[in-house]
Structure 1
Amino acid sequence: MPGPGLEAVRPLADATLANAGGGSSGPDVGLLYEINGLAKDAPGWFDRAMEFVGEYGIVLGLGVLMLCAWWSVRRGPDATGGVTALLWAPLAAGIALLVNVPIRGFVRRPRPFLEHQGLDVLVRGKTDFSFVSDHATLTMALGVGLFVAHRKYGLVGIGLAFLEGFCRVFMGVHYPTDVVGGLALGTAVVLLLAPLAMMGLTPLTLWVGGTRMGWLVRSRRPVPVALAGPEHVAGQQARHRDNGLAA
């Protein structure tokens, strides 16, 4: 029969095992409870809305932003570069998600609701590991890729990626550090591989631009003079002079 000394040590051993399993307290867990606590105080319809936004809505919104940016850059003076950057954005997001597979397997961090009691979990069935957040990785990669192609839409996309990170913690399925890791991973993959990716994708964009599908790369409408380069403006002026002489 174990003595009183062993009984006194047992709670400390249990706490140590909880810490080793990712159940320790600290700023990360404290912030998790602070943000997820908002879900407990919010009405049910708001929780359902956040669930949809966090699972699907922001990703769909980024898709719409990609279409808007494509429509804009193909009408600009550097249509080839802009369309190439937009093509790189979803490819970078896919690469970042693949990079996250071994990271998750190495860290093996359980979901927060498996380690901590009292969380309001809005999405059930999450049985994979928690670090790094796939949603944060995906949305930030798309947002930064958008920023490379089009600053205005890119800033909106990056803002949506931060909102995605907030939603994942609000929903009780990720720690804040899971989100920070995802945002960093998505950014790093896009920016570090961008030079090599642009070199490889630009010939493809140029080839498509020279085919019947060229409207995917460049608008058939003339480039506005305000957006055109000096060579374009000089050429337009020369043609006007020639037309005047001919008249």
Structure 2
Amino acid sequence: MAELASDGSSPDVTLLYDVNGLAKDAPPWFDRVMEFTGEYGIMLAMVLVVLWCWWSVRRSGSLTDSVSAVAGIVWAPLAAGLALLVNIPIRGFVERPRPFVDHDGLEVLVEGKTDYSFVSDHATMAMAIAVALFLAHRRFGLIAIGLALTEGFARVYMGVHYPTDVIGGLALGTAVALLLAPLTLALLTPLVSAVARSRRAGRLVRSRRADGSAARPETVGIPEPRLGGPAEDGHGEKGLAA
């Protein structure tokens, strides 16, 4: 299947030249920025967003919410790793050369790429992290999805991937993160809950500030009883004593 998108008249190749053509018109310093961003920068930003999300969820909300969110955050890098494993046989089956192998006149910003092109590892990994993070926390997930889309654009801009390589990577990352999430979260949530109950490791899930009182930890999945009895009337008077 190496002939995939090899026709120079295809929309895939036309869009490749249009996006990569921006690199020819851009100043050299901007191309260097895009090179670092597309190769390393966005993935580093994804890691920082994941850490920021973890820091945020452990300081707010109930313990039950924190356990669920942290389990989702743990799933994000695992989803990226599994998506990359799934991509190995796909790349071997399709065997699509890098675009600069079959098409002249491209501005290639990263040299030395000799592996196959479809699908993009960077786009796959970025979107898997983003979608898994979206399941844990929508606001941070949307930020990560924006970064994943930027990663896809950067790979085409750099001349190392066709647009359909990127689209395939985004789809693969999304599919892995969504389809495997129910099973994985069912396994991760009890594990994270056990960590939350640990005296030392519990701070990885719930901060001391969010707990309010270290002497009365909240039980995961069981609402904590209200102080003062089960019922009060509308005048602030307590009902029958429990």
**What range describes the TM-score normalised by the shorter chain of this pair?**
0.7 to 0.9
Q: Which of residues 194, 199, 204 is equivalent to 1:216? A: 204
Q: Please, what TM-score do these two structures have when normalized by structure 2?
A: 0.85
Give structure 1 regions of 4+ aligned residues with deviation exceeding 4 angstroms: none
Report whether the alignment pairs 1:34 with 2:18.
yes
Residue 189 (1) aligns with residue 176 (2) = yes
For residues 57 and 210 of structure 2, what CA distance do their matches in structure 1 show? 13
**Match of residue 73, structure 1, among 47, 57, 62:** 57
Q: How many residues align?
A: 219
1:235 match: secondary structure: coil
Secondary structure at the aligned position of 2:209 is classed as coil
Residues 1:130 and 2:117 aligned together = yes
Query: Counterpart of 1:86?
Result: 73
- Quote how far apart the aligned CAs of 1:137 are: 0.2
Displacement of 1:72 in angstroms is 1.3
Q: 1:220 to 1:124 in 2, by over 3 A?
A: same
**Paired letter, 1:99:** V
Q: Normalization by structure 1: what TM-score?
A: 0.83
The question of 1:51 aligning with 2:35 is answered yes
Q: 1:197 to 1:22 in 2, by over 3 A?
A: same
Q: Where do 5+ consecutive residues of structure 1 fail to align?
A: 1-18, 242-247
Contact 1:136 1:165 in 2 (8 A): yes
Task: Give identity over the alignment, percent.
Answer: 62
What stretches of structure 2 of length at least 5 have no aligned partner? 213-217, 233-242
Query: Is 2:11 aligned against 1:24?
Result: no
- The CA deviation at 1:74 is 1.4
Shift of 1:97: 0.2
Change (3 A) 1:20 1:65: closer
Which structure is higher in helix share?
Answer: 1
Is 2:139 the partner of 1:152? Answer: yes
**Inter-CA distance 67–108: structure 2 relative to 1 (3 Å threshold):** same
The offset of 1:22, in angstroms, is: 4.8
Give the distance between the partners of 1:237 and 1:80, measured in 2 at CA: 28
Instruction: Give the AA of the match of 1:218.
Output: R
Q: Match of 1:190, as an amino acid?
A: A
The AA in structure 2 aligned to 1:220 is R
User: CA–CA distance in 2 between the matches of 1:93 and 1:62?
Assistant: 11
Instruction: Mark the structure with the bigger radius of gyration.
Output: 1
